Amino acid sequence: MPRGKPAGVRCVQLTDDLRCALYGRPERPAFCAGLRPSPDLCGATAAEAMRLIAALETATRLDPPPPEAP
């Protein structure tokens, strides 16, 4: 993703089994390489990890969220 991954968009490098296709490769983005597993990021289950990561994306997004429906 040349311009980065927008919040809420699945990474194109995420495999069907939720692994990074670029893990351990030099083209893996520095941001991703800097993420380290921890209870704050991963929680106790895969579902909790997905909720925590989604919350992190929302909290750090640069693009404005879509307008709320009336």
Q: pLDDT tens across 21-70, in order?
A: 999 999 998 888 888 889 988 899 988 988 998 888 888 877 665 666 66
Would you state the pLDDT for residue 45? 92
pTM of the model: 0.61
41 and 69 in contact (C-beta within 8 Å)?
no
Tell me the pLDDT band of 15, cut-offs 50, 70 and 90: very high
Would you state the pLDDT for residue 21? 95
Would you state the pLDDT for residue 43? 92
DSSP 25: S
DSSP 18: S
